[in-house]
Amino acid sequence: MALLLPTSTAGSLPKPSWIAEPEKLWSPWLLEGDQLNEAKQDALRVSLQEQVIAGIDIVSDGEQTRQHFVTTFIEHLDGVDFKKRETVKIRNRYEASVPSVVGAVSRQKPVFVEDAKFLRQQTDQPIKWALPGPMTMIDTLYDDHYKSREKLAWEFAKILNQEARELEAAGVDIIQFDEPAFNVFFDEVNDWGIATLERAIEGLQCETAVHICYGYGIKANNDWKKTLGSEWRQYEKAFPKLQQSKIDIVSLECQNSKVPMDLIELIRGKKVMVGAIDVATDTVETPEEVANTLRKALQFVDADKLYPSTNCGMTPLSRQVARGKLKALSAGAQIVRDELSA
């Protein structure tokens, strides 16, 4: 990428209130059938336009066609029964009623490929597409078939690879895998988490990213963060192995987080999407605050490998707040770009 400090978002953006109840996770659709399909495309267009107007360089669909970053992908697979629900603890943090794996999992047809083609038609800017990572997928399910988290993760990795290859063919420039679970299950990350992620990107020519965060700005996550103490060193556990992996980009939560910035040194050589926007507050950052976070990160990432981004997705925020945050991200990145070229 020729442009220095290209901006992007971690993933989801708020949906318009005419398609789903705003400021809510798993918000049900307000339309159905053909009307819903048309509305999803319209919402995608609006979301894209808002990113473009805010000056975001690497754009996305804002996840407008999905209800949830993990569940929607799984809904399209065979082997998972959404009516057979069990209560599990997601990321050891909060209880949720989740679907059950009842047989061999498989993908009969593409999940997001048509949406990605549609986005590709709308813009010439680089596009990034988010998929859930294998470990985060298994953590959102009750497994009544494989009875092994690792086995199920390998199966999902194969399926993700099928989808990723088709997204690449549809013209996606960066495929991102969301792995908030990497911040929780450290032994598994190193035993097979990163290996299954590498299986998911096998054979891809486009760039690949892994997004590791402390979650959406919802109460369960905010409460959990309060228990993590004054220094968040979770990244330290996965970084050495990630540095050795084939993943090109690592997307991190840095704004208002207690992650010591120098941990980024452990992934030296990788491109780093630095979260410079806090998604757990309605307060819109000033461009100077964004610039400050990017300057700190520049001590540990080469300028040509620094990608300013958001801490996580912005689905739970209001559209107005999200727009303000996107603008602040662009303006903050521009301040640092000007400094670098001075």
Which residues partner with 274 through β-bridges?
252, 308
**Least distance (Å) between residue 251 CB and Zn ion:** 8
β-pairing, 174-178 with 207-212?
Answer: parallel
Alpha helices in the chain (DSSP H): 33-54, 71-75, 113-122, 134-138, 149-169, 186-188, 194-200, 219-226, 234-244, 287-297, 319-341
User: How far is Cα 60 from Cα 130, in angstroms, rounded to an integer?
Assistant: 8
Stretch that binds Zn ion, among 18-26, 82-90, 141-149, 205-213 (CB under 5 A): 205-213
- Residue 212 is a binding residue for Zn ion (CB under 5 A): no
Q: Residue with structure tokens 């950052």? A: 285
What mask of x and - would describe binding to Zn ion in positions 219 to 248, judged by CB under 5 A?
------------------------------
Residue 19 in the binding site for Zn ion (CB under 5 A):
no
Cβ 273 to Zn ion shortest distance, Å: 11
CB of 297 to Zn ion, least distance (A): 17
213 binds Zn ion (CB under 5 A): yes
Span near Zn ion by CB under 5 A; candidates 68-76, 128-136, 148-156, 213-221:
213-221
φ and ψ at residue 27, rounded to 5 degrees? -65, 125
Listed residue (163, 68, 36, 176) closest to 108, CA to CA: 163
Work out the number of other CB atoms within 10 angstroms of the CB of residue 113.
Answer: 18
101 vs 329, beta carbon nearer Zn ion? 329
Residue 9 to residue 213: CA distance in whole angstroms: 13
Pick 196 or 221: Cβ nearer Zn ion: 221
| Least Å from the CB of residue 136 to Zn ion | 10
Q: How far is the CB of 10 from Zn ion (least distance, A)?
A: 5
**Minimum distance from CB of 100 to Zn ion (Å)?**
25
Count of residues that bind Zn ion according to CB under 5 A: 2
Contact between 174 and Zn ion (CB under 5 A)? no
d(CA 35, CA 44): 14
Name residues contacting Zn ion, limited to 296-335 (CB under 5 A). 312
Q: Which is nearer to Zn ion, 112 or 216 (CB)?
A: 216
CB of 340: closest distance to Zn ion in angstroms?
A: 27
List the Cα angle 121/127/132 in 5-degree steps. 115
Nearest C-alpha neighbor of 304 from the set 234, 249, 241, 246: 249
Select 42 or 282, whichever has its Cβ closest to Zn ion. 282
Question: CA-to-CA distance for 270 and 250, rounded, in angstroms?
Answer: 7
Residue nearer to Zn ion on the CB measure, 159 or 312: 312
Integer Cα distance of 253 and 247 in angstroms: 18
The residues of the shown chain that bind Zn ion, judged by CB under 5 A, are 213, 312
